[in-house]
Structure 1
């Protein structure tokens, strides 16, 4: 059993510390240039279908399904190279490393992300985020349903969850109540969608960018969790 921390900061990846909207835009531009707009649209439709089925973005799974419909076109074998070789470190939001270091003065920092078992770990590793949290990385299909596992691996008196999706923050708040402080960075298309904002209660803390956490003082929270 791991020793109990006073505070554990749980950090989402996509559109929280990493500009995933830009990754998708770059991928779609690459597909249009290399394979034509019709093939791009076909892949994007499969990607959205898989997102609805799985609850996360499965880029490589979508490529596999796309290839099954285009078995005679050998060019499709080159589609995955763009994602595998992408310079992920270029998409880390400015100030992320400093903000994570700022949080660590009050508690452990742990990545808590949704995603598949192949591409999401590679993205986190190649971007440098894995090293930034000393390898303390959790990836689930539906992380909000895995809170018992999170608490077992990283027991704490209090948790802080930083995520761009109010739906995730709301589900976790319902489960953990006052043991959790929710932080909502208004980055990416989910966070800026008026429908998403209206559908869920506001987070405990709202910031415009992840780097704005440098202005947050969690010392009182750490003191109250000490006893």
Structure 2
């Protein structure tokens, strides 16, 4: 039985995909591999299955899509190699510049914890292969829908205040609605959500906005508190908490 985690003054909750590592690049590489090994029609079929499963599950499940993709192709030797490509993908090479430095910076100011959505096989594998598991000292939480697990997160890592760092404004808004002033939300403008024209439609809007995860090294603890100034030096793009 695990010993309970001691209370922390501030817990930093860090998303993985397109927050700490470039998952869009992984998808591009996967797309190229599908085209090379199976051709254009099959590549399209895989992504249709992927989108169907994502809609059904509410999170990305690349292995579930591959399992469905298997139907009718069981005698294709390239199919077996695809699972190896996914599970052994060099995610350490996809860590964003400055991400590990940002994590280390947060270790000195509170308790950083990975909080991610995903399946129970591929997403933990990604965190391990990337080196993030070790960088976060084993503090890794992966749920089907993290915005619905906030009570469990707070029980696992009790704190005076929480900071959620994510590339998805929709999730940040949902978590802010649930936790209110107990949570500071930080939008990292990376990945395909960076140019989302509907970002402003997600309310409440993020308390803070940065362009790159590495910019977190410029922030001190006072910048993350409720109603605290969010203007570090040097000055990454940010805005005051409401």
Deviations 1:136-164 (A, max 9, x none): 00000000000010001000110000000
Q: Would you say 1:82 and 2:93 are equivalent positions?
A: no
**Contact 2:14 2:113 (8 Å CA) reproduced:** yes
3-state DSSP of counterpart to 2:167? coil
Runs of 4+ residues deviating >6 angstroms: none
1:70 equivalent in structure 2: 73
Q: Would you say 1:194 and 2:204 are equivalent positions?
A: no
2:236 equivalent in structure 1: none
Higher helix share: 1
Deviations 1:164-194 (A, max 9, x none): 0011100110010000000000000123211
- Mapped to 1, the partners of 2:158 and 2:195 lie a distance apart of 32
More relative contact order, 1 or 2 (CA 8 Å, 6+ apart): 1
2:161 equivalent in structure 1: 158
Q: Would you say 1:119 and 2:127 are equivalent positions?
A: no
1:1-227 → structure 2 map (5 Å cutoff)? 1-195=4-198, 197-201=199-203, 202-219=205-222, 221=224
Normalising by structure 2, report the TM-score.
0.88
3-state DSSP of counterpart to 1:109? strand
**Contact 1:6 1:222 (8 Å CA) reproduced:** no
- Mapped to 2, the partners of 1:77 and 1:104 lie a distance apart of 40
Question: What is the CA-CA distance between 1:74 and the residue it aligns to?
Answer: 4.2
- Mapped to 1, the partners of 2:225 and 2:172 lie a distance apart of 20
Normalising by structure 1, report the TM-score.
0.94
- Mapped to 1, the partners of 2:67 and 2:157 lie a distance apart of 35
- Mapped to 1, the partners of 2:19 and 2:202 lie a distance apart of 18
Cα RMSD of the aligned pairs, angstroms, is 1.8
Structure 2 gap ranges (5+):
228-242
CA 1:2 to 1:79, structure 2 compared with 1: closer, same or farther past 3 Å?
closer
